[in-house]
Amino acid sequence: MGNSTGSMFYLFAIVIVLYIVGVSIYQVFLWFKKRQEKKRDEQFVMDDDGSKE
């Protein structure tokens, strides 16, 4: 069987690191999407206020 514990530890560490990186990228994507929606909503309100006056 050999030294499988070391290999398993490295595999586990790589999976954890990939998970953290993936979740971080997803969170940045959600933040960017939310920021774009907020910017678009503010622009809509500004355009809407200008046309009502």
For 1-53, write each residue's pLDDT tens digit: 456 777 888 999 999 999 999 999 999 999 999 999 888 888 777 776 655 44
Say what the pLDDT of residue 12 is.
92
**CA 28 – CA 52 distance, rounded (Å):** 36
What pTM value is reported for the model? 0.62
Say what the pLDDT of residue 48 is.
66
Say what the pLDDT of residue 50 is.
56
Q: Kindly list the distances between the CA atom of residue 42 and the CA atoms of 2, 48, 51, in Å, as whole numbers in the listed order.
A: 62, 10, 14
Backbone phi, psi, residue 3, to 5°: -90, 80
Say what the pLDDT of residue 18 is.
98
Say what the pLDDT of residue 53 is.
46
